């Protein structure tokens, strides 16, 4: 495997960063997870745009332009003969001192890894997920804004640990006001009648690329799409529920906190939208 680090394509064994990199020491950096399908990188420009928005939010100057970043991602896929897979794009603050001061980090690092990913077993896509609500609250906007896709994922990891301890794969995270924010690595949607609803970004949801694609597909299919504040009550009484994310794509949820959702099986809306989503991923994207 070839990994891109700061303009060079290195063998996996040689792809290393310094122990003084603030991405390692403090989680001071940002990342994107991107998918390639059928020889194309899906929604690459949107992912790179979001990366640069995250960088701006933490005053991190990415040393290459968005166009150069796109070229680096595509070339890393080529170097690895990857037509279908997962790309992890990382920018760290770079090598600094053992102190916190980011101004001591003179050269941010850009890393691109192109590999495979399987977030959930196939049977879970067929049968649906059983998930739980966890005590760990989503980060506040005025602490670590959830819109920033940073390398500090401890908030999500703590929630994931609570899900694992409950014997399930995924967790619903609430915000400080008790409204549904998102899951540990995915956005959450519910279907109620002809309405598709998902928490607003102001509730603590990530600006999900897949989230946006699914909302567009739902509108095209004639569904009413809205972003109201949702509570656990709304989730429990939904006709359908599903999660979206670049890695997970779209996966149905059939039970939340012991409450069966809808019929207890993946519903017609999720199945229809999944088919449309897969068709789109196979036919659009930046050619490798």
Query: Can you state the percent helix, strand and coil of the chain, rounding each to 5?
Result: 30, 30, 40
Q: Cα dist. 95→4, 5, 104, 116, 133 in Å?
A: 17, 13, 8, 28, 38
Q: Which of 8, 149, 160, 255 is catalytic?
A: 149
| Residue 45 designated active-site | no
* Main-chain phi, psi angles of 2, to 5 degrees: -105, 130
Residue 158, C-beta contacts closer than 8 angstroms, at least 6 positions apart: 136
User: Residue 112 forms beta bridges with which residues?
Assistant: 4, 89
User: Residue 269 forms beta bridges with which residues?
Assistant: none
Helical H runs in the chain?
22-26, 44-57, 66-79, 122-127, 154-165, 209-220, 232-236, 268-283
Q: Cα dist. 260→132, 133, 177, 263 in Å?
A: 12, 14, 25, 7
Cα(134)–Cα(137) distance, rounded to whole angstroms? 8
Question: Catalytic residues, which ones?
Answer: 149
């Amino acid at each position: 495997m070839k990994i891109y680090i700061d303009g060079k394509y290195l063998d996996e064994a040689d792809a290393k960063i310094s122990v003084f990199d603030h991405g390692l020491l403090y989680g001071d950096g940002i990342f994107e997870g991107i998918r390639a399908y059928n020889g194309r990188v899906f929604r690459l420009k949107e992912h790179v745009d979001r990366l640069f928005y995250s960088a701006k939010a933490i005053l991190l100057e990415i040393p290459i332009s968005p166009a150069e970043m796109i070229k680096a991602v595509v070339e890393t896929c080529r170097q690895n003969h990857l037509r279908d897979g997962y790309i992890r794009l990382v920018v760290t603050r770079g090598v600094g001192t053992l102190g916190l001061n980011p101004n001591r980090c003179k050269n941010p690092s850009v890393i691109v890894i192109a590999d495979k990913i399987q977030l959930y077993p196939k049977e879970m896509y067929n049968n649906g997920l059983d998930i739980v609500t966890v005590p760990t609250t989503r980060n506040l906007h005025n602490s670590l804004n959830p819109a920033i896709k940073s390398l500090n994922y401890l908030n999500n990891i703590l929630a994931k640990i609570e899900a694992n301890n409950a014997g399930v794969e995924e967790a619903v995270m609430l915000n400080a006001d008790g409204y549904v924010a998102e899951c540990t690595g995915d956005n959450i949607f519910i279907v109620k009648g002809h309405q598709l609803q998902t928490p607003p970004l102001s509730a603590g949801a990530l600006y999900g690329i897949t989230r946006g694609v699914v909302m567009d597909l739902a509108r095209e299919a004639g569904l009413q799409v809205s972003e109201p504040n949702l509570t656990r009550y709304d989730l429990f009484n939904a006709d359908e529920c599903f999660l979206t994310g670049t890695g997970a794509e779209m996966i149905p949820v059939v039970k939340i906190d012991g409450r069966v959702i809808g019929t207890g099986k993946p519903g017609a809306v999720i199945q229809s939208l999944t088919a449309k989503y897969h068709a789109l991923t196979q036919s659009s994207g930046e050619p490798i």
